[in-house]
């Protein structure tokens, strides 16, 4: 209950309510874009300042390796599961969406840990960046394979050009938001304590209010995308909730094996359980045009994102603490 009394979470709930009532309340897209970039920049700086203090330790490297392992395992498991009741293109697109990560979910989790005085490593922001692209690459490879081995609309799939993996990889690795996160982290590492003191009014004092404003926008978007799932298979709805729980459980087991702290393990669980609704859908829409956007976008933003924000984050943190 305490998490629901957080102002940022309450603004998210308010956004869902306003969107469900079909209110004309909206955040202009340029402002929404600015808010997302601000949050990523502030998160990158915070991670960089933390890394400047701790250095590149064995714990940091182990955490990054665990993140990469989850970024590979989750989309593979997702594709094998979804392939049982979906065509290859939809299965690959959804697997990519759930194999990648949601930066806003991660940022909300970081704020939750800060509010509850739970320590974590700033390098987990780098883990988030590392986990964004592997699922996209895997999905494109699977879709290209599907085009060579099946037919589409009664025509040879070979008539449909394969998505060029090099171009998709370039788009995934040079995404502006991801570059901003990594660039801000590098600046934080280089400037250290002096940079932290100079940027505190920007990256710390404003952070909570900016997050609340952005979560209001996310609540509006989530409410308006829930309708896209009407009439879809019940198994998709189950996967949108059960999938993240399974992925978080795997991350919990992996984090425990490699000896991660409770805070870092909770963030790894959040990353594994989250689903991208910005970067991956934007790439997949062009790379796998055969897939239905209402499925992977509606599932990630309409169900998984609200579940993680309202229930998942407090659950993952509590379980990680109890486990450790």
Contact 243, 311 (CB under 8 A): no
pLDDT band at 305 (very low <50, low <70, confident <90, very high): very high
- Per-domain residue ranges of the chain: 29-323
CATH topology of domain 29-323: Na+/H+ antiporter like fold (1.20.1530)
> pTM, whole model, 2 decimals?
0.86
User: Which of these ranges, 35-49, 146-160, 282-296, has the smallest mean pLDDT?
Assistant: 146-160
Rounded to whole angstroms, the Cα distance separating 312 from 242 reads 11
CA atoms lying within 13 Å on the CB side of residue 248: 27
Mean pLDDT in residue range 125-147: 84
The pLDDT, as a whole number, for residue 156 is 47
Q: What angle do CA 85, 86, 91 make, to 5 degrees?
A: 125
pLDDT of residue 190: 92
Does residue 1 carry a pLDDT above 60? no
pLDDT at 276 over 80: yes
Asked whether the beta carbons of 316 and 106 are under 8 A apart, the reply is no
Q: Which residue has the higher pLDDT, 178 or 18?
A: 18
Q: What is the pLDDT of residues 217-267, one digit of tens each?
A: 989 988 888 877 777 788 999 999 999 999 999 999 999 999 999 999 999
pLDDT digits (tens, 9 = 90+) for 156-214: 444 445 656 566 666 666 667 778 888 898 999 999 899 999 999 988 889 889 999 98
Long-range pairs, 253-257, Cβ under 8 A, ≥24: 254/66, 254/69, 254/70, 255/66, 255/320, 256/323, 256/324
């Amino acid at each position: 209950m305490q998490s629901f009394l957080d102002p940022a979470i309450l603004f998210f709930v308010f956004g869902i309510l306003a969107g469900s009532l079909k209110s004309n309340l909206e955040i202009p897209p340029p402002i929404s874009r600015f808010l997302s970039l601000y949050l990523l920049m502030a998160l990158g700086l915070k991670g960089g300042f933390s890394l400047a203090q701790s250095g590149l330790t064995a714990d940091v490297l182990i955490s990054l390796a665990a993140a990469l392992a989850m970024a590979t395992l989750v989309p593979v498991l997702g594709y094998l599961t979804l392939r049982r009741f979906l065509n290859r293109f939809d299965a690959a697109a959804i697997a990519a969406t759930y194999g990648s990560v949601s930066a806003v979910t991660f940022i909300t989790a970081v704020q939750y840990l800060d509010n509850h005085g739970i320590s974590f490593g700033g390098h987990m922001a780098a883990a988030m960046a590392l986990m964004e692209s592997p699922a996209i690459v895997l999905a494109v490879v699977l879709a290209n394979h599907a085009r060579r081995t099946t037919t589409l609309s009664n025509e040879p799939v070979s008539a449909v050009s394969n998505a060029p993996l090099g171009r998709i990889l370039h788009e995934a690795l040079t995404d502006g938001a991801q570059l901003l996160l990594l660039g801000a982290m590098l600046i934080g590492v280089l400037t250290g304590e002096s940079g932290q003191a100079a940027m505190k009014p920007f990256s710390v004092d404003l952070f909570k209010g900016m997050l609340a404003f952005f979560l209001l926008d996310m609540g509006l978007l989530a409410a308006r995308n829930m309708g896209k799932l009407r009439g879809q298979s019940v198994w998709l709805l189950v996967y949108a909730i059960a999938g993240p729980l399974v992925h978080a459980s795997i991350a919990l087991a992996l984090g425990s094996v490699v000896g991660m702290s409770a805070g870092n393990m909770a963030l790894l669980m959040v990353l594994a359980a989250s689903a991208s609704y910005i970067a991956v859908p934007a790439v997949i829409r062009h790379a796998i045009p055969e897939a239905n956007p209402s499925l992977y976008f509606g599932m990630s933003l309409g169900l998984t994102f609200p579940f993680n924000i309202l229930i998942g984050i407090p659950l993952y943190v509590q379980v990680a603490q109890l486990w450790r």
